[in-house]
Amino acid sequence: MKAKRSFSSPSQIVIALGLAKYALKASFRNKASYFFSLIFPLIFVVIFGLLGNSGASIKLGVSDTIDKTNPIYQTIKNLSEQENAPIELIEGSEPDLEKQLSQAKIASIIAPDQSVRPMAGSLTLVSSNSNPQGKAAAESFLSGVISQMNIKASGIVRQPFAFNAKEISGKEYRYIDYALPGQIGFSLLSIATFGIAFPLITLRKTLVLKRMFATTVKPITFVVAQCLSRSFQAMLQAAVLLTVGVLAFHFTLAHGWITFVQMIFLSFLAVLAFLGFGLFIGNVARDEQSLPIALNLFNLPQILLAGVFFPIDGMPKWLQFIGNNLPLAYFNTALRKISVEGIAFVDIWPYILGMIVWGFVAYIAAARVFKTE
Amino acid sequence: MHRHFAYTNLSMENMIEVKNLVKRYGQMTAVDGISFSVKQGEIFGLLGPNGAGKTTTLEIIETLKPATEGSVLVDDFDIHTQAQEIKKRIGIQLQASGFYPNLNLIELLNMFAIMYGVKVDAMAMLKEFNLEDKSMSFFDNMSGGQKQRFSLASTLINTPRVIFLDEPTTGLDPQARINLWDVIRDINKKGVTIVITTHYMDEAEQLCDRLAIMDNGRIIAEDTPEKLISDLLARGFKRHTEVRAATLEDVFLDFTGRNIRES
């Protein structure tokens, strides 16, 4: 008999953790991997954050032929000079302003009264169908101003009909509050698909996978390690996006840092589910040429229909049904419920269940097509 | 130049025993009932033209592919039932294989150590293969010779009983090739059995204690290089041209020296 040396039988859990560490290290060094999953969403967050800050003042064109002593003009002028003015005046020649109006760049134009018998206390509001919202806003603003002036002029001290404006406390809801959760979803989806399918194909092509499975590593151990490293990276990226949103654009966190932690945890669950799809696509795609097509076939419909950029509610009913049931929609909706509405984590279980079902389907499909070379 | 010293390593024990091995892919028979054995401590060559079935045979022995029929024992373990035990005891260099991207050599060796559940002194291993200057380099940024040396180092992580080298010197310049032969001999001297495939007959003659020639999925000859050559001469073979006292490779090495070149 040969003298048999003993060879160690390592635990697959220890191997998975060790492999995950190196996979993460390698992934952090791969600059290209940040592009879709971090840089892109970050750019969108900044753009949407800046959009939200511009406020919604009415842009009103002022014809240079207008009589500067006109009392209505003077009232509007005074209003426009206040802080947080509801109105912004843009002076110019009438033809120039009309051109801007037809391009919907301004809401309406005020010009001298052009009726047959002009009065000192009146003027003309020029509007266009090119900007119906602007027209409505300008008309309502102007009629409000003129009503106030009429009441003052008629000397009524106690108005028989009036309303009191009362504000309940609440944070201003802005587009960034809608956009940021969508961008986190975009980031997670990218890292879970692009971030795992491309490396898989490369590792297979360069025989690295084959070499790894010539050791005592089991395929499931390798997959767990990859998923762990990607989900960790995804959580970090979600935290970066969220931090930028909170610090730079005052993104709404309903319950402060608790909401922050809940959002990151939900991101972890989501990326685990999405990774099933990345694994599946990475195994069915034949090479690096067909892979981006396959990935975009999966990702694009979700980015367009699952409430990343625009609300699902605005779509036709049948499309809403599809949109609402996409994996990314479950995540986006749940994330907004936590962040903006402040709903308790346990109450979003239907959405988590939806993600688990999708993830389950994806992992089963991935296991059926998994190949080592 | 011929190596006879390695025979001192040899015992009568078989490290690998292949019996009536068959591998079919549908209608195609890649390996057609071959039998051979590799003795403990020897360098065994598996030669043959492309498509002869060499790589398939190796991959079955390495437990990377299932056999259709036949039995294979590696260090007395059965490929059908004890694949994990075999994996622990062997080292593999795949033909033109890469390594995990974006990790340096030290990290790659440590990662392999994790996969085998062993602890290694990665720097000492690199030093042994003359790669200590490259410890922080990525595999893709190294020269062909360095890549193959690292590849060899990576087969030894688990201190295996036998290693399999699939065309280890393909694409190397003569200096790097000669250097790699020395490295392979050094590994063998430490008692590691080596199975090697190559398309270079001079390499097989230089390195192998015994070899098998495969064609169309069958083994058509198996013996020591010396015996195979003398058998051919005994059959009345004569070379068409007179053998000269030097070859073009001798000229090349005379001009460029034997020192290994690495950018």
B162-196: b (≥16 Cβ within 10 Å) or e: bbbbbbbbbebbebbbbbbbebbbebbeeebbbbb
Tell me if B115 and A202 make a contact (CB, 8 A cut-off).
no
B contact set with A (CB within 8 A): 13, 40, 62-64, 75-76, 84-85, 87-90, 92, 94-103, 107, 110-112, 114-118, 158, 161
Give the DSSP letter string of A8-60: ----HHHHHHHHHHHHHHHHHH-TTHHIIIIIHHHHHHHHHHHHHHT--PEEE
Tokens of A70: 């006109």
pLDDT at residue A85, as a whole number:
76
Distance (Å, whole) CA A167 – CA A177: 21
Tell me if B62 and A214 make a contact (CB, 8 A cut-off).
yes
Chain A residues in contact with B99 (beta carbon < 8 A): 206, 208, 211
Distance (Å, whole) CA B12 – CA B38: 10
Residues 6+ apart with CB under 8 A from A34: none
Nearest CA in chain B to A225: B115
pLDDT mean by block of 10 residues, chain A; 373 residues: 64 93 92 82 86 69 87 87 82 89 87 79 85 85 86 79 70 80 93 92 91 91 94 93 91 89 94 95 89 92 90 88 93 92 90 95 93 78
Q: Three-state DSSP class for A68?
A: coil
Tokens of B57: 């045979």
Adjacency order of strands within the sheet including B28-39: B28-39, B14-25, B69-74, B77-78
* DSSP structure class, residue B260: P
Of A259, A224, A221, A255, the closest CA to residue A238 belongs to A259
pLDDT at residue A243, as a whole number:
95
Q: What is the pLDDT along chain B (263 residues), one digit of tens a residue?
A: 444 444 444 557 899 999 999 999 999 999 999 999 999 999 999 999 988 999 999 999 999 999 999 999 999 999 999 999 999 999 999 887 889 999 999 999 999 999 999 999 999 999 999 999 999 999 999 998 899 999 999 999 999 999 999 999 988 888 989 999 999 999 999 999 999 999 999 999 999 999 999 999 999 999 999 999 999 888 888 877 666 788 888 888 888 887 877 65
Residue B161 · residue B192 · CB < 8 Å: yes
Chain A residues in contact with B40 (beta carbon < 8 A): 2
Distance of CA B257 to the CA centre of its chain: 26
Query: Chain B: nearest CA to A209, how far in angstroms?
Result: 9
Distance (Å, whole) CA B194 – CA A361: 45
The dihedral of CA A306, A309, A311, A317: what is its sign? negative
Of A107, A179, A92, the closest CA to residue A142 belongs to A107
Distance (Å, whole) CA A218 – CA A18: 14
ipTM: 0.86
DSSP strands (E only) in chain B:
14-25, 28-39, 43-47, 69-74, 77-78, 90-93, 162-166, 193-198, 210-215, 218-223
Of B60, B45, B34, the closest CA to residue B215 belongs to B34
Q: Three-state DSSP class for B119?
A: coil
Axis-axis angle for helices A40-53, A175-205 (nearest 10):
170
Which of A7, A8, A202 is the best residue to mutate to test the B interface, defined by the most B CB atoms within 10 Å of its own CB? A7
Tell me if B158 and A210 make a contact (CB, 8 A cut-off).
no
Chain B residues in contact with A210 (beta carbon < 8 A): 64, 94, 97
